[in-house]
Amino acid sequence: MTPAYLVRRVLQTIPVFIGITFMVFLIMYLTPGDPVEIMMGEGSIVSAEEIERLRHELGLDRPMVEQYLSFVGGIFRGNFGRSIIQRASVMKLIGSRLPATFELTIVSIIISVMIAIPIGVLSAVKKYSLLDNIGTVSALVGVSMPTFWLGLLLIIVFSVKFKLLPVTGRISYGHGLEPITNFLLIDAVITGNWAALVDIIRHLLLPAITLGCHMVALTMRITRSSMLEVLSQDYIRTAWSKGLGRKVVILKHALRNALVPTVTVVTLNIGVLLGGNMIVESVFGWPGLGRLVINAIYTRDYPLVQGAVLVYAFTYVVMNFIADLLYTVLNPKVRF
Amino acid sequence: MKRILLLGISIVVSCLLLGGVIGWAAGNTLIVGVTQDVETLDPANHRSRITETTIRNMYDGLVTRTSDMEVVPELAVSWEQVSTTEWIFYLQKDVKWHDGEKFTAEDVKFTIDRLVKEGMINGMTSPRKSLLDPVNGAEVIDTYTVKLTLDAPMPHLLAFLPFQEMVAKHYVEEFGDDYLAENAMGTGPFELVRWDKGTQVIMKRFDDYYGGSPDIPPVGSAQVETLIFKVIPELSSRIAALQAGEVDIITEVSADLMGQIEGDPNLEIVTCNGTRSYVLGMNCVTGEFADKRVRQAMNYAIDMEQIVAALYSGLGEVIPTILSPNAIGYADLDPYGYDPDKAKELLTQAGYSNGLSVVIDAQDSLKNIAEACAQMLREIGIDASTQVWEWSVLKPELLANKRQMWVTSWGNGSMDPQGIFVPKLGTGERGNYTGYSNTTLNLLFALSKITLDSDERLTCFIEGQKIVYDECPMVWGYVTKEIYGKSTRVQGWNPSPDGKLNMHDVSLSG
Amino acid sequence: MILVTSFLIMAIFAPFIAPHDPNKGNLLERLKPPCWAEGGSTKHLLGTDTLGRDMLSRTIFGSRISFLIGFVVVALTSSIGAVIGLVSGYFGGRIDAVIQRIVDMLLAFPQLILALAIMAVLGPGIKNIILALVYKGWVTSCRVVRGDVLVAREESYVEAARAMGASNWHILIRSLLPNVMASIIVVASLSIGTVILLEASLSFLGLGVQPPTPTWGGMVANGRNYIFRAWWITTFPGICILLLVMGFNLMGQGLRDTFDPKLSRQGR
């Protein structure tokens, strides 16, 4: 990973971002429907002049190029504008939702990895065993289920039938936890509020499992196959023949190498999960970015959609970059 | 490897078990499960019903409504109309803001001016301006007397005041509009604890509350200590949360799912009359439906009684025109009723004996109704299909008279014909998608706006309904009941037709 | 394979198998449970939905749309992706750089948001769903094909063709395309499942296929509010989606193992 490569990587993202600003602006511009009309709602009294005045105050009556330039200009000044419907700064709105989204995504990945890698490894070591077969089938079911269906089934089983886990929200009220970072898990640990911590984890479990289901399947398959490949390599055979212990061979020698593709896939999928969790958020009433964006699309809240897409794109690019980095760290043979 | 797996499993299991021990936050906390989050905590800077009704628990208005929709005093003890364009309001004394300051006429003037004058909120105009349209400002007469001045008479002014919530002049001037948007401060029975965006608004009882409207007992501080409005968009999840005891009241239950709640001994269903009228609009300008006989045929061909019975479990009422039976100035006419033979006959008269082809448009949420209507039209030989649209895309098409027939609904929280009859059927009004235009009707509407005699005003609307009943620019539909689910421990709460979720009087047992 | 084939047969012969008209309902017979449950009748084997339409017939007809969307989208994405990937990988240089930046851009744009926005521009409908899914879908196969081409163009047989004076297009079509065909097919069969799931997600968000046309995704999405009251509305189409997507995934994995041992070792 030479400095020159780093610079090139960063430079490459510039046209990508310019393209994205243009694309998101163009799509929103072409979309029929008027945010002001939507905001004013149905069933109440609004005059035509009032609509015109609001459109003017929001700059929606200006020519397309001018609107685009002021949008891009705003980004350079670090200003994404004001939401049309909620009338607050877009940065602030997105900022208030990001912690919840990240928290859910990260926990979901941790859970997935904790389930997927051990099963993947075990099923590679004991190929075609009962565990391997169960793993294969459940991985298939995992990738084949519509997310919202899975979410509702989990709610029925765990919340309604057995009343074990809460249905919605991030935390029950009454633990006296005041948000500091808005990453509630961190807040609970900082303040040492253990009851709140348990409550937060309980709220996280169902959405995180729902969200992570595809990820578990994917990670499990990849770990299994790369593990199988590594186990057939010469140096592992050498290790066996040297009479090293089973655990040492599998964990120290094989797993380390087998993890390379797994790590890449996991990192790349963080971006995908972030963009795809709006359905989970709806089902579990999770206050994340996805729901905010969907509402913004329906209400034609242009500044909010634009801001959110840029945030998503940025996360994706960063994750991609981290994936490359990890790849070189884990596998010194790879050089860019 | 196995150890990691075991560790993971044991964390999950211990969380499950611990949950049973810790339980939910019980005590004197009332939690309401609603469909959407509030947009802002600034009562003047939104146009959303859920925002209005949620923050109404922290802010009071000059007047309020009983659950029978009668306008009664709240912050104003009484009022008088001194001329056609001037109203004087006499205020409650000894009312305190949540920060301990006194509520005065200055605050009313500030609130009203902020609503009706241009550029008052961060340089932008309040989107609620037109709700009070002829009002041009307010004048302070003395500390507890304030005068609202109007550009033109507004006989229905009181109907539009309950949801104009009072904000504190000193507070907004000191902290600014952006601060108010996240930090509510009113005179209401509850004060803000925290707004977790996208999740919940948490409020606690305001102990120095002046008591609220004297006409809505009990007067005094709120009964519950903590009040939470929790956002749960999915209906299934809302019901699940109610069953699991996570929330105490939920809104917008569908008639089909009432059984789920009724079957649970700890829960019950509460209903009230809604204010939303469902109708099928027809294009009165071009195409087949420009012919009145065809429009009447449609009114005979669609069995609204059956739709109410089947899709709403009978929790609704078929209406003869667009006004709901609870509205002011409702004309008691006989709905068209289902008569397929008459429909066929009218179609033959109009020259469509071989049937015709119709596309019924609808939003996603109303597509079941569109589909049910299409089925009925197919039964009398009309080639009917449905198309689902996003409302923001469909609406301009309708206003341009490009469509044929569509399912639509229009809520009218004010219960005044001015809030539904005029905007839906007056020529050139923004809710008039059918393109319907009738000179006599327009004259009646004009008269209703200037007359000072309230009986004459009502007569205008009743005569107007007779006209549109016959001309039927829409297939008249029905109003449905609003259905709420609640836990039996919630006492003293009645839903009200304007959708207000007033939690001041509610107490919790057990 | 058997799963996919039997669903395919079901889709083709839907009008002959289905006992009722899938779009004709009777409001008086709505929400009837399946025949084996209490209150069910043999008239509607799998019960009826919210408008009294026969669930069995709707489920059978639903397979048609799922197949249609799955096949058309994947056919389009893999051919577009293959062509662009071939060009990008073979010519390299500036063309490659521009194409790859566009691919980056599309990859960075969350798929569901993009599809939603496109659906909002175009309005709902089968054609538009296909467009919205194709718009981004091609980038996956493009990336895979490009990667293969980058490797293959250094191989001796391409060098040989070039030395013999073959034109670029000749090399692309005759030498490279057959070589990358295996990965195209594998990626395609794996992504059919994804496409079917995405259609379900769009239905969930209210931008699915126009009613009354039955689609599995739409049926699960619309029935979700009835999951307590009438479990059968979501369960049967849900199971169908599960089985079909599973079928395609199994098929994809099978194809991968036979066609391309190299790919299968990468585990993708």
Cβ neighbours of C212 in B, within 8 Å: 371, 374, 385-386
- In 3D space, the residue among A117, A121, A60 whose CA is nearest the CA of residue A85 turns out to be A60
DSSP letter string, A124-176: HHTTTSHHHHHHHHHHHHHHHS-HHHHHHHHIIIIIIIS--S-SSSSS-TTS-
Report how far Cα A65 is from the mean position of its chain's Cα atoms: 33
| Percentage above 70 pLDDT, chain A | 94
Q: B483: part of which helix (H) or strand (E)?
A: strand B474-487
Does A16 contact C250 at a Cβ distance shorter than 8 Å?
A: no
Cβ neighbours of B385 in C, within 8 Å: 212
A300: nearest CA in chain B?
B392
pLDDT higher than threshold 80 for residue B75: yes
Structure tokens given for C37: 């449950």
Q: What is the pLDDT of residue B202?
A: 93
- In 3D space, the residue among B489, B354, B479, B487 whose CA is nearest the CA of residue B420 turns out to be B479
Helix axes A130-144, C231-259, angle to 10 degrees: 120
C178 CB burial (10 A radius; 0-12, 13-18, 19+) = exposed
Q: How far apart are CA C223 and CA B234, in angstroms?
A: 12
Q: How far apart are CA C201 and CA C218, in angstroms?
A: 9
Structure tokens given for B448: 């209703």
Does residue C98 sit at the B interface (CB-CB below 8 Å)?
A: no
**Contact at 8 Å (CB) between A301 and A88?**
no
pLDDT higher than threshold 80 for residue B197: yes
* CB < 8 Å from B in window 163-222 of A: 163-170, 172-175, 178-179, 195, 198-199, 201-202, 205
pLDDT higher than threshold 90 for residue A39: no
**Contact at 8 Å (CB) between C50 and C226?**
yes
- In 3D space, the residue among B222, B218, B217, B256 whose CA is nearest the CA of residue B239 turns out to be B256
Query: Residue C266 in 3-state DSSP?
Result: helix
Does residue C226 sit at the A interface (CB-CB below 8 Å)?
A: no
The residue-averaged pLDDT of B364-384 equals 90
* pLDDT per position as a tens digit, A107-118: 998 888 888 888
* Residue of B1 and A126 predicted with greater confidence: A126
A64 CB burial (10 A radius; 0-12, 13-18, 19+) = exposed
- Residue B65: how many CB atoms within 10 A of its CB? 27
**Contact at 8 Å (CB) between A255 and A121?**
yes
Q: How far apart are CA C83 and CA C89, in angstroms?
A: 10
Structure tokens given for A50: 């009032």
pLDDT higher than threshold 90 for residue B341: yes
Q: What is the pLDDT of residue B510?
A: 67
Cβ neighbours of A123 in C, within 8 Å: none
Of A48, A86, A174, the CB nearest to B40: A86
- In 3D space, the residue among A259, A213, A269 whose CA is nearest the CA of residue A118 turns out to be A259
Q: What is the pLDDT of residue A131?
A: 81
The count of C-alpha atoms lying within 13 angstroms of the C-alpha of B313, restricted to the half-sphere facing its C-beta, is 12
**Contact at 8 Å (CB) between A273 and A332?**
no
* Residue of B29 and C33 predicted with greater confidence: B29
CA distances, B246 to each of A160, A166, A171, A246, C105 (Å): 11, 7, 11, 50, 43
Number of domains in chain C: 1
Q: Which residues pair with B86 in a beta bridge?
A: B83, B149
Does residue A77 sit at the B interface (CB-CB below 8 Å)?
A: no
Among all chains, which residue has been given the structure tokens 């923050």? B55
Q: What is the pLDDT of residue C260?
A: 54
C231: nearest CA in chain A?
A153
* pLDDT per position as a tens digit, B317-327: 999 999 998 88
- In 3D space, the residue among A315, A274, A312, A288 whose CA is nearest the CA of residue A99 turns out to be A288
Does B241 contact A164 at a Cβ distance shorter than 8 Å?
A: no
Confidence of residue C268 (pLDDT cuts 50, 70, 90): very low
CATH superfamily of B273-481: Dipeptide-binding Protein; Domain 3 (3.10.105.10)
Residue C54 lies in a domain: no
Q: What is the pLDDT of residue A59?
A: 77
Does residue A193 sit at the C interface (CB-CB below 8 Å)?
A: no
Q: How far apart are CA A238 and CA A258, in angstroms?
A: 17
Q: How far apart are CA B162 and CA B65, in angstroms?
A: 7
Number of A/C CB contacts below 8 angstroms equals: 129
Residue-range definition of the domain harbouring residue C155: 64-220+237-260
Q: How far apart are CA C48 and CA C57, in angstroms?
A: 10
Q: What is the pLDDT of residue B368?
A: 86
Q: What is the pLDDT of residue B21?
A: 43
Cβ neighbours of A149 in C, within 8 Å: 220, 224, 234, 238
> How close does chain A come to C75, measured CA to CA in Å?
20
Q: What is the pLDDT of residue B193?
A: 93
Confidence of residue A42 (pLDDT cuts 50, 70, 90): low
**Contact at 8 Å (CB) between B27 and A174?**
yes
**Contact at 8 Å (CB) between B368 and C50?**
yes
Residue C129 lies in a domain: yes
Structure tokens given for A308: 């959110």
| Listed range (A43-57, A237-251, A322-336, B219-233) with the worst mean pLDDT | A322-336
- In 3D space, the residue among B137, B88, B140 whose CA is nearest the CA of residue B116 turns out to be B137
Residue C33 neighbours by CB under 8 Å, 6+ apart:
C39, C40, C47, C230, C232
pLDDT higher than threshold 70 for residue A305: yes
pLDDT higher than threshold 50 for residue A211: yes
Among all chains, which residue has been given the structure tokens 């009978």? B314
| Listed range (A32-46, A69-83, A102-116, B45-59) with the worst mean pLDDT | A32-46
The contacts found for C235-238 with CB under 8 angstroms, 24 or more apart, are C236/C46, C236/C55, C236/C56, C236/C59, C237/C58, C237/C59, C237/C62, C238/A145, C238/A146, C238/A149
Touching chains, B (3+ CB pairs < 8 A): A, C
Sign of the C-alpha dihedral, residues B106, B109, B112, B117? negative
pLDDT higher than threshold 80 for residue C262: no
Sign of the C-alpha dihedral, residues C31, C36, C39, C45? positive
- In 3D space, the residue among C131, C125, C11, C136 whose CA is nearest the CA of residue C72 turns out to be C131
pLDDT higher than threshold 80 for residue B379: yes
The b-or-e profile of C119-134 (16+ CB within 10 A means b, else e) is bbbbbbbbebbbbbbb
Residue C47 lies in a domain: no
Q: Which residues of B touch C (CB under 8 A)?
A: 234-236, 239, 254, 256-257, 259-260, 306-307, 310-311, 364-365, 367-368, 370-372, 374-375, 385-390, 393
The residue-averaged pLDDT of C57-86 equals 89
Q: What is the pLDDT of residue A331?
A: 64
CATH superfamily of B20-248+489-508: Periplasmic binding protein-like II (3.40.190.10)
The b-or-e profile of C198-226 (16+ CB within 10 A means b, else e) is bbbbbbbbbbbbbbbbbbbbbbbbbbbbb
Q: C132: part of which helix (H) or strand (E)?
A: helix C126-152
* The residue type at C236: F
Cβ neighbours of A24 in C, within 8 Å: 109, 117
pLDDT higher than threshold 50 for residue B350: yes
Give, rounded to a whole angstrom, the gap between the first and last alpha carbons of chain A.
Answer: 6
Q: How far apart are CA B461 and CA B450, in angstroms?
A: 13
Q: How far apart are CA B378 and CA C43, in angstroms?
A: 22
A125: nearest CA in chain B?
B1
Residue C231 lies in a domain: no
Does C27 contact B389 at a Cβ distance shorter than 8 Å?
A: no
Q: A190: part of which helix (H) or strand (E)?
A: helix A184-191
Q: How far apart are CA A75 and CA A95, in angstroms?
A: 15
Report chain B's mean pLDDT, rounded to a whole number. 89
Confidence of residue A279 (pLDDT cuts 50, 70, 90): confident
Q: What is the pLDDT of residue B25?
A: 46
**Contact at 8 Å (CB) between A139 and A217?**
yes
Confidence of residue A336 (pLDDT cuts 50, 70, 90): very low
| Percentage above 90 pLDDT, chain A | 1
| CATH 3.40.190.10 domain span(s) along chain B | 20-248+489-508
**Contact at 8 Å (CB) between C223 and C217?**
no
- In 3D space, the residue among B317, B307, B322 whose CA is nearest the CA of residue B433 turns out to be B322
Residue C182 lies in a domain: yes
Q: What is the pLDDT of residue B78?
A: 94
The residue-averaged pLDDT of A139-148 equals 81
* CB < 8 Å from A in window 109-148 of C: 109-114, 116-118, 120-121
CA distances, B104 to each of B42, B61, B96, B179, B201 (Å): 19, 13, 9, 22, 27
* pLDDT per position as a tens digit, C219-246: 888 888 887 778 888 888 888 888 888 8
Q: How far apart are CA B137 and CA B134, in angstroms?
A: 9
* pLDDT per position as a tens digit, B416-454: 888 889 889 999 887 899 999 999 999 999 998 888 788
Residue ranges of domains in chain A, CATH in brackets: 34-79 (no CATH), 93-330 (1.10.3720.10)
**Contact at 8 Å (CB) between B274 and B327?**
no
Confidence of residue B1 (pLDDT cuts 50, 70, 90): low
ipTM, interface predicted TM-score of the complex? 0.78
Region for B93 from its dihedrals, namely left if φ exceeds 0, alpha if ψ lies in -120 to 50, beta otherwise: beta
The b-or-e profile of A170-189 (16+ CB within 10 A means b, else e) is bbbbbbebeeeebbbbebbe
Confidence of residue A139 (pLDDT cuts 50, 70, 90): confident
* Residue of B404 and A56 predicted with greater confidence: B404
Ranges of beta strands (E only) in B21-163 are 29-34, 63-65, 71-73, 76-83, 86-91, 135-142, 145-150
pLDDT higher than threshold 90 for residue B308: yes
* Residue of B374 and A143 predicted with greater confidence: B374
Does residue B366 sit at the A interface (CB-CB below 8 Å)?
A: no
Residue C75 lies in a domain: yes
